[in-house]
Amino acid sequence: MAEPTPRASNYRQAEIVALLRQSGRVGVDELATHFGVTLQTIRRDLNELSEARALVRVHGGAMIASGVANLAYEARQYVAQQSKRLIGAAAARLVPDNASLLINIGTTTEEVAKALSAHSGLLVITNNLHVANELYRNQSVQVIITGGSIRKGDGGIVGAVTVEQIEQFRADMAIIGTSAIDPDGALLDFDVDEVQISRAIIEHARKVVLVADSSKFSRSAPVKISQLSEIDIFVTDRLPSEEVAEMCRRCAVEVIEAGDPAEGESGEASKSTE
Residue 68: the pLDDT is: 46
Could you give the number of structural domains in the chain? Answer: 2
Q: What is the CATH number of the domain that holds 39?
A: 1.10.10.10
Average pLDDT over residues 180-198: 94
Model confidence pLDDT, tens digit, residues 201-249: 999 999 999 999 998 887 888 999 999 999 999 999 999 999 999 999 9
pLDDT of residue 264: 53
pLDDT digits (tens, 9 = 90+) for 69-84: 556 665 665 666 789 9
Indicate whether 256 belongs to any domain. Answer: yes
Model pLDDT, residue 8: 81
Range of the domain at 46: 6-63
Residue 98 falls inside a structural domain: yes
For residue 69, being part of any structural domain is answered with no
Give the pLDDT mean for 79-104: 94
Residue-wise pLDDT for 105-154, tens only, equals 999 999 999 999 889 999 999 999 999 999 999 999 999 999 999 998 88
| pTM, entire model | 0.77
264 inside domain: yes
In this structure, are 103 and 178 located in the same domain? Answer: yes
Q: What is the 3-state secondary structure (H, E, C) of the chain?
A: CCCCCHHHHHHHHHHHHHHHHHHCEEEHHHHHHHHCCCHHHHHHHHHHHHHCCCCEEECCEEECCCCCCCCCHHHHHHCCHHHHHHHHHHHHCCCCCCCEEEECCCHHHHHHHHHCCCCCCEEEEECEHHHHHHHCCCCCEEEEECCCEECCCCCEEECHHHHHHHCCCCEEEEEECCCEECCCCEEEECCHHHHHHHHHHHHCEEEEEEECCHHHHHCCCCEEEEEHHHCCEEEECCCCCHHHHHHHHHCCCEEEECCCHHHCCCCCCEEECC
Whether residues 142 and 268 share a domain: the answer is yes
Do 22 and 84 fall within a single domain?
A: no
| CATH number of the CATH domain containing 242 | 3.40.50.1360
